[in-house]
């Protein structure tokens, strides 16, 4: 079958389109959604009149409306273009949607999907480059996933829109231009399962989102120097620590790649979960961003995020092998990737 290459943003749009067509209970709302929401809802306002809705600038109100409609039996897909602004709806997400079914003894689902755009973007600085993964991952009652590829973006959104429980999808904006072969038909990616992306025997590398893409590029740099098992976390709530433990039991080494600060991060949680039950050949490492806000200046941000060269050299260092010297271009350091993933 011939490949059909889609961008990350187009894969989200296709999943949304197919869910709107499949289930009349599904509707979409958010600021700027009829205007395209970064290319993820282009044309859907005209195709589904009355079901793709623009809203006033009130994150609390629009999310509260969606939560109430989900309790009443609809299946809203909410879009928040910046994670910082989504926090204005923290009560609706963390206290209402997440706890409703539990408080009423089960049998009271809240089938809401909340898409939140997170992470790096050139020039957005301290206030608009946050990801806040640990904040969402700590909320009981929510399922929280991070798509890392176009294939996964489509499959996770379809799974989330069919799920009876509230799901938060944290979408790295940095990946919207990446491309991949994406099937036309509808399919689901499991919401609570990590994925072994590459098999290996020397070291386990655990990553997610844009860090997963950088890790894939690092494997190309490493080549035959090391046999790397690469795991995509996919879900941070719940965290599939069993899959990671199984890999580390084989390799005896663990490197976690975080594209946000290390403190209270996903990598720290993964390492804690592994070390509770296992002894490693070398100390586990979390390769993460500094514990300071992301700067705005490009002369500073090139030292903030772990690069593919950083990841490759850390892998080789943990295996006591010589590193690589590769200077990255301005485009590689500062512009969102548009590469085609296998």
Strands of the 203-207 sheet, one edge to the other: 195-198, 228-232, 203-207, 254-261, 285-289
The last residue of a domain, from among 181, 204, 226: 181
- Percent of the chain scoring above 90 in pLDDT: 92
Please choose, from the candidates 238, 64, 56, the residue with its C-alpha nearest in 3D space to the C-alpha of residue 139: 238
Report the pLDDT averaged over residues 304-316: 96
Q: Are residues 116 and 221 in the same domain?
A: no
Look at residue 172 and tell me if it is in a domain.
yes
Q: Are residues 145 and 200 in the same domain?
A: no
According to the model, what pLDDT value does residue 234 have? Answer: 98
Look at the chain and report how many structural domains it folds into.
2
Q: Are residues 35 and 152 in the same domain?
A: yes
β-pair partners for 320: none
Q: What share of the chain is helix, strand, coil (3-state, %, to 5)?
A: 40, 20, 40
Encode pLDDT of 79-91 as tens digits. 999 999 999 999 9
β-pair partners for 77: 28, 113
Report the pLDDT averaged over residues 17-24: 98
CA distance 312 to 223: 10
Encode pLDDT of 253-291 as tens digits. 999 999 999 999 999 999 999 999 999 999 999 999 999
Q: Are residues 96 and 231 in the same domain?
A: no
Look at residue 342 and tell me if it is in a domain.
no
- Assess whether 45 carries a catalytic annotation: no
Reported confidence tier of residue 142, pLDDT bands at 50, 70, 90: very high
Q: Are residues 302 and 256 in the same domain?
A: yes
- Assess whether 22 carries a catalytic annotation: no
CA distance 81 to 206: 27
Q: Are residues 68 and 119 in the same domain?
A: yes
* Catalytic-labelled residue, pool 14, 128, 217, 269: 128
Encode pLDDT of 107-127 as tens digits. 999 999 999 999 998 888 889
First to last CA, the chain: 15
Mutual angle of helices 8-22 and 150-162, in 10-degree steps: 30
Q: Are strands 26-30 and 52-53 parallel, antiparallel or unpaired?
A: parallel
The model's pTM: 0.96
Look at residue 12 and tell me if it is in a domain.
yes
The last residue of a domain, from among 181, 213, 247: 181
Encode pLDDT of 165-218 as tens digits. 999 999 999 999 999 999 999 999 999 999 999 999 999 999 999 999 999 999
Q: Are residues 116 and 158 in the same domain?
A: yes
* Catalytic-labelled residue, pool 14, 59, 171, 229: 59
Q: Which domain holds residue 279?
A: 195-336
Q: Are residues 215 and 141 in the same domain?
A: no
Q: How many CA atoms lie within 13 A of 147 on its CB side?
A: 33
Encode pLDDT of 152-168 as tens digits. 999 999 999 999 999 99
Q: Does residue 1 surpass a pLDDT of 80?
A: no
Q: Are residues 234 and 317 in the same domain?
A: yes
Q: Are residues 49 and 74 in the same domain?
A: yes
| Residues in contact with 2: Cβ distance below 8 Å, sequence separation at least 6, in sequence order | none
């Amino acid at each position: 079958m011939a490949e059909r290459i889609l961008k990350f943003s187009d894969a989200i749009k296709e999943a949304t389109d197919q869910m709107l067509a499949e289930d009349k209970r599904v509707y979409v709302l958010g600021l700027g959604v009829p205007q395209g929401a970064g290319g993820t809802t282009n044309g859907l306002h005209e195709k589904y009149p009355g079901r793709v809705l623009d809203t006033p600038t009130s994150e609390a109100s629009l999310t509260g409306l969606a939560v109430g409609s989900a309790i009443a039996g609809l299946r809203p897909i909410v879009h928040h273009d910046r994670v910082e602004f989504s926090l204005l709806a923290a009560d609706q997400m963390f206290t209402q949607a997440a706890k409703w079914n539990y408080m009423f003894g089960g049998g009271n689902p809240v089938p809401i999907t909340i898409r939140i755009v997170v992470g790096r973007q050139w020039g957005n600085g301290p206030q608009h480059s946050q990801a806040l993964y640990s904040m969402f991952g700590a909320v009981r009652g929510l399922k929280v996933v991070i798509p890392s590829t176009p294939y996964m973006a489509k499959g996770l959104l379809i799974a989330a829109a069919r799920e009876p429980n509230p799901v938060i999808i944290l979408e790295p904006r940095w990946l919207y231009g990446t491309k991949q072969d994406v099937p036309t038909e509808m399919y689901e990616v499991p919401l609570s399962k990590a994925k072994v992306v590459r098999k290996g025997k020397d070291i386990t590398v655990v990553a997610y989102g844009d860090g997963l893409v950088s890790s894939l590029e690092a494997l190309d740099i490493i080549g035959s120097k090391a046999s790397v098992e690469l795991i995509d976390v996919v879900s941070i709530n719940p965290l599939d620590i069993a899959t990671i433990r199984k890999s580390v039991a084989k390799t005896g080494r663990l490197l976690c790649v975080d594209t946000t600060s290390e403190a209270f991060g996903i990598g720290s949680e993964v390492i804690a979960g592994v070390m509770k039950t296992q002894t490693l050949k070398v100390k586990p490492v979390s390769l993460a961003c500094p514990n300071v806000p992301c700067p705005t200046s490009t002369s500073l941000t090139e030292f903030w995020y772990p690069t593919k060269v950083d990841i490759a050299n850390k892998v080789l260092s943990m295996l006591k092998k010589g590193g690589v010297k590769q200077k990255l271009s301005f485009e590689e350091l500062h512009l969102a990737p548009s590469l085609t993933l296998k």
